[in-house]
């Protein structure tokens, strides 16, 4: 598969992740009486990855996330020369998804990005008021575990055909745990897409949602390679 095809797949996949996941949070989570709440948003993020894994996994590997690309590279599963192109495609796709979401959300009376627009944050911008340190630990650990599941589920020795289900359910679980802490990132492209439209605090805190997921992913790549090595 050519690199252009892979990058297009990553663009559309990340577009869908941000539109579907963040869209559920912005448009449906708190809807009066029928809102989907944290559980619904968690499922939405998991379903975006599950559906796209089946749709484009055979094209690009369905990373949809710079941290996943770094983790696969760290584990010896992804070439270094494709890291930057993949990350650019993911970030652009995330911003495009957020742009469509903004155009829809802004059609409702009273809409204001100051409400957060599904951005990630710490301190006063954490849903539960969690500190920067708590959010940093949470994002590193959650991304670490996400990559451990991805690397294990896509291992050539794992049962074939079930990886998207395991990965989608893992992302759902991660959101169920960490939405109150950081609004759940584990994905720098997802965080960047919505932060661009919020600006202000969302962009000033964005560094953490790049650093923590990438650190967690790189650690997971090394640990999984060690754990799964055939002696």
User: What pLDDT is attached to residue 52?
Assistant: 97
Number of residues that make up the chain: 231
pLDDT, tens digit, for every residue of 155-168?
989 888 899 999 99
| Spatial CB neighbours of 211, under 8 Å, sequence gap ≥ 6 | 136
> Among 196, 201, 194, 197, which Cα is nearest to 18's?
194
**CA dist., res. 180 & res. 4, Å (int):** 38
> Can you list the domains of the chain with their CATH numbers?
3-227 (1.20.1080.10)
Instruction: Report the chain's terminal Cα–Cα distance, integer Å.
Output: 33
Tell me the DSSP string of the chain: --HHHHHHHHHHHHHHHIIIIIHIIIIITT-TTT--HHHHHHHHHHHHHHHHHHHHHHHH----SHHHHHHHHHTTSS-GGGHHHHHHHHHHHHHHHHHHHHHHHTTSTT--GGG-TT----GGGSTT---HHHHHHHHHHHHHHHHHHHHHHTSTTSPTT-HHHHHHHHHHHHHHHHHHHHS--S-HHHHHHHHHHH-HHHHHTTTHHHHHHHHHHHHHHHHHHHHT---
Residue 224 has pLDDT above 90, yes or no: yes
Q: Give pTM, 2 decimals.
A: 0.94
Beta carbons within 10 angstroms of residue 27's beta carbon: 16
pLDDT, tens digit, for every residue of 99-153?
999 999 999 888 888 778 999 999 999 999 999 999 999 999 999 999 999 999 9
Alpha carbon separation from 108 to 16, 105, 116, 172, 187 (Å, rounded): 21, 6, 15, 28, 28
User: What pLDDT is attached to residue 33?
Assistant: 73
Which two tokens mark 220? 């997971």
pLDDT, tens digit, for every residue of 167-197?
999 999 999 999 999 999 999 999 999 999 9
User: What pLDDT is attached to residue 231?
Assistant: 66
User: What pLDDT is attached to residue 146?
Assistant: 98
């Amino acid at each position: 598969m050519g690199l252009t095809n892979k990058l297009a797949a990553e663009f559309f996949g990340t577009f869908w992740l941000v539109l579907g996941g963040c869209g559920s949070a912005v448009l449906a989570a708190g809807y009066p009486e029928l809102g989907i709440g944290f559980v619904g948003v968690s499922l939405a993020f998991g379903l975006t990855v599950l559906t796209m894994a089946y749709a484009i996994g055979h094209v690009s590997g369905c990373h949809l996330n710079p941290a996943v690309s770094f983790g696969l590279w760290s584990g010896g599963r992804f070439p270094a020369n494709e890291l930057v192109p993949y990350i650019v495609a993911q970030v652009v796709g995330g911003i495009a998804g957020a742009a469509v979401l903004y155009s829809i959300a802004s059609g409702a009376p009273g809409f204001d990005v100051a409400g957060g627009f599904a951005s990630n944050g710490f301190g006063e911008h954490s849903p539960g008021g969690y500190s920067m340190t708590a959010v940093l630990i949470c994002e590193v650990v959650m991304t670490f575990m996400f990559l451990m599941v991805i690397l294990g589920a896509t291992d050539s020795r794992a049962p074939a055909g079930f990886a998207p289900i395991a990965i989608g359910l893992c992302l759902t679980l991660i959101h169920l745990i960490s939405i109150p802490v950081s609004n759940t990132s584990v994905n720098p492209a997802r965080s960047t897409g919505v932060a661009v439209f919020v600006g202000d605090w969302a962009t000033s805190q964005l560094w953490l949602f790049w650093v923590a997921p990438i650190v967690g992913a790189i650690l997971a790549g090394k640990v999984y390679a060690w754990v799964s090595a055939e002696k």
